């Protein structure tokens, strides 16, 4: 398991960057089935965090950015896939990280990377 310390950590198509606080204007994310999806996959292998272990926020002005504040004993970003999975990333207690989602270019502009 990787742990976010003072340096960024990658998990597949997301980059996890330690920051000091959730920026003003970030909007609370909605959990699904007890988890926050921090990176969605069309094939079902989402990157998720248990909703009881973190608060997740979406950047108000950038669909490629989210923020996570860990609760209690910390949180883990888990890659939900049975094979060729990415290593789990631990976020220490009382920490805040920025999630940067991979993007790809299409003729209309940029969109979240799709697999």
**CA distance linking residue 61 with residue 67, whole number of Å:** 13
The C-alpha R_g of the chain, in whole angstroms, comes to 13
User: Residues 113, 5, 71, 50: what is their CA dihedral angle, to the nearest 10 degrees?
Assistant: 40
Longest dimension (CA), the chain: 44
| Token duo for residue 81 | 């896939």
- The whole-model pTM stands at 0.84
Q: What is the pLDDT of residue 85?
A: 65
Q: Residue 78 CB: number of other CB atoms within 10 A?
A: 20
Q: What is the pLDDT of residue 105?
A: 55
Per-residue pLDDT of the chain (115 residues; tens, 9 = 90+): 888 988 998 887 889 999 999 999 999 999 998 999 888 766 656 889 999 999 999 999 988 899 999 999 999 999 877 666 678 999 999 999 999 986 555 667 555 555 5
Instruction: For the chain, give every domain's residue range.
Output: 2-104
Q: What is the pLDDT of residue 18?
A: 97
Can you tell me whether residue 104 is helix, strand or coil? strand
């Amino acid at each position: 398991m990787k742990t976010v310390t003072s340096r960024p950590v990658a998990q597949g198509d997301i980059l996890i960057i330690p920051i000091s606080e959730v920026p003003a204007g970030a909007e609370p994310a909605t959990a699904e089935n007890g988890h926050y999806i921090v990176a969605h996959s069309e094939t079902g292998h989402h990157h998720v965090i248990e909703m009881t272990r973190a608060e997740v926020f979406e950047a108000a002005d950038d669909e490629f950015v989210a923020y996570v504040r860990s609760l209690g004993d910390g949180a883990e970003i888990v890659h939900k896939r049975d094979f060729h999975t990415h290593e789990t990333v631990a976020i220490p207690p009382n920490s805040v990280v920025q999630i940067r989602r991979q993007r790809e270019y299409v003729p209309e502009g940029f969109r979240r990377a799709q697999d």
